[in-house]
Amino acid sequence: MANEFDVIVIGGGPAGYVAAIRSAQLGMNTALVDDFIGKQGKPVLGGTCANVGCIPSKALLESTEAYENIVKSSKIHGISVNEVTVDVAAMVTRKDKIVASMSTGVEQLLKANKVTWLKGRGRLLPEKQVEVTDHKGKVKTHQSENVIFATGSSPVEIPSAPLTDDIIVNSSGALDWDSAPERLGVIGAGVIGLELGTVWRRLGSEVTLLEAQDIFLPMADREIGKEALRQFSSQGLDIRLSARVTSSIVEKGVVNLTYSDPEGEHTLTVDRLIVCVGRRPCSENIAAPETDLLIDEGGFIHVDENCETNLPGVYAIGDVVRGPMLAHKGSEEGIVVAERIAGNHAHVNYDAIPSVIYTHPEISWVGKTEEELKASGEDYSAGVFPFAASGRARAMNDANGMVKVLINNQTDRILGVHIIGPQSSEIIGQAVMALEFEGTSEDIASTVFAHPTLSEAFHEAALGADGRAIHIVNKKRR
């Protein structure tokens, strides 16, 4: 069979559609296979991120933060507001409109770049043929010179909390409630659990998060994690660590949970329960057995440093390969693979991929944590600058948190940046560039930052790493 396409991408999320668009921009005849069905029962693009993940959760976080600010912060600014009401259903409708516009936008981008959208489920056959089964069961086979898997991930389910209609739900199901449950349980106090717990706490729910690990946010810097736990607890989130759920039974419209911790066994009754215990790669039945595609015991497709599988010309990117399950990581891998297929040099710097939790305060980081540097015996210093000393943060009445910059004492190179505070998701981009270009604290110190801005805290923390911060008393830490 002659090659019908130069590139076929299987999966239409941030990794897949970016790979498809870049492939087309580089002059390759490209198709994208995707079978995601949206809320209206029709095929949509954008994958989990645009439809039931990143975008809808941020829409609800923004709406609920606006509501909370009106209720709790108006008087501080000299504004009196009477009889504030909240319409949760209207918030959900707004969220749905944003989701629809994002999905439509991706479709328009594919059309503009002349990418063919093959609606259906893709499956790799030998010789880089791709079998596409549409939603009516019709099967068609397409030939390609290159194939890119970008099939994403799905929420992990656990036997101790089986999903039930609208009572025990996963992260996707928690985006469509039209009212706030009086008592909400969340299994898992990671990124997704914290964001969804924050949404419903703001709307009036009594939220309890049960986290199996004994350390809060173990992937974050410990100092940042401790500060986050303090702030979230003060907001009203009940976070219980070392809490392993052993059973969840729905009775008379409520959920009766049993969980254990070092103190013994406990019970908890909630009106609704969200299960947020991680995600697993979507790799089941994506390739015919005779292709011999290597998939590890965790369901991740095995790839080399160029995202190529054990099959020449077959690649895998995003959540379906090992590494952080982050949309921007998958998108960057998609660009790199497209470039390499076109014969260009490209790589992903996995040491400079930022992580963000979009709660309030936001939590962001990139690079090494202080714990990792200690464990490796690195000769380092830390500069910490509190937002309490930031004029802009104080003017915003949002001065909790800090910026931490970690540097190598011999080279002055920045090794990690960790932020908890207002708009940290925007500030962290500057830190990512510093790591990407092997920047030093002196590079940041000698850069002029506008005043007053929140990003000045990054500047001051870089100065503080060498004991030169201006707006705090320096306490250089080694």
**Positions marked active-site:** 451
Containing 55, the helix (H) or strand (E) segment is: helix 54-73
Say how far apart CA 211 and CA 349 lie, in whole Å: 31
Tokens of 456: 């000045």
Tokens of 471: 């707006």
Say how far apart CA 434 and CA 45 lie, in whole Å: 33
| CA of residue 84 relative to chain centroid, distance | 32
Residue 281: cis peptide before it, omega within 30 degrees of 0: no
Say how far apart CA 342 and CA 7 lie, in whole Å: 10
Q: Helix (H, G, I), strand (E, B), or coil: what is residue 60?
A: helix
Q: Which amino acid is located at 269 in the chain?
A: T
Residue 173 DSSP symbol = G
Overall size of the chain counted in residues: 478
Q: Helix (H, G, I), strand (E, B), or coil: what is residue 403?
A: strand
Tokens of 236: 């009203």
Strand partners, 406: 382, 416
- Give me the half-sphere count of Cα atoms (radius 13 Å) on the Cβ side of residue 307: 33
